[in-house]
Homo-oligomer: A and B are copies of this chain.
């Protein structure tokens, strides 16, 4: 079970790192999360240098492909060489976007005939692809989903984890990042050790 998160220069920091952190909380032996891009490193919108684990083509062999957002999407929707490296298939892959990542799904022809959501500042641009944009945090049509607003990445993660792991993992992972007293309780500590035990990928927070 491989999840590829696609990045590019000028990506929005939190849209990558929130999904990355959530997916890494799932402790299943075959669970493989990677960041892919066209360079060995990409620079985020705030200037953070982030290494990739593999090339764009890794996405084509993944069970789940996720597109982050950022100003870089405005360049990438016109980058035919970059777009041509993707060979995605919603029949066998779950494919989703956060915020302006929806522009990339549109540019790849994956949103044709579907409704979608995106960040407020990119609504018009997405409509320019002939797509009906709805004011919702998350919209899924079969194996293709879009989300709008950085924290809506939780819906994307939940959608994937429930389908590729199970509802128990989904509920536990999403609960594990909620504020204490607002979804997370001190009495949840024993259950949380399932995420943070000795062999966990993510350490105890």
- Point out residues on A near B: beta carbons under 8 Å: 10, 12-15, 17-18, 20-22, 24, 45-46, 48-51, 69-72, 74, 99-100, 117-123, 133, 135-138, 147-152, 154-155, 176-189, 192-193, 196, 201-205
Sort A-B residue pairs by CB-CB distance and give the 8 closest, nearest first: A71-B203, A148-B180, A137-B179, A17-B17, A152-B179, A150-B177, A149-B179, A120-B189
> A179 contacts B155, CB within 8 Å?
yes
> B178 contacts A151, CB within 8 Å?
yes
Residues of B within 8 A of A118 (CB): 180
> B205 contacts A12, CB within 8 Å?
yes
> A205 contacts B70, CB within 8 Å?
yes
Residues of B within 8 A of A99 (CB): 205
A24 CA to B138 CA in the complex, in Å? 26
> B15 contacts A121, CB within 8 Å?
no
Residues of B within 8 A of A51 (CB): 48-49
Q: Residue of B at shortest CB range from A182? A: B137
Q: Residue of B at shortest CB range from A11? A: B203
A48 CA to B19 CA in the complex, in Å? 13
A193 CA to B149 CA in the complex, in Å? 14
> B20 contacts A46, CB within 8 Å?
yes
Interface-central residue, A14, A176, A192, by most chain B CB under 10 Å: A14
Q: In the assembled complex, how far is the CB of residue A153 from the closest CB belonging to chain B, in whole angstroms?
A: 9
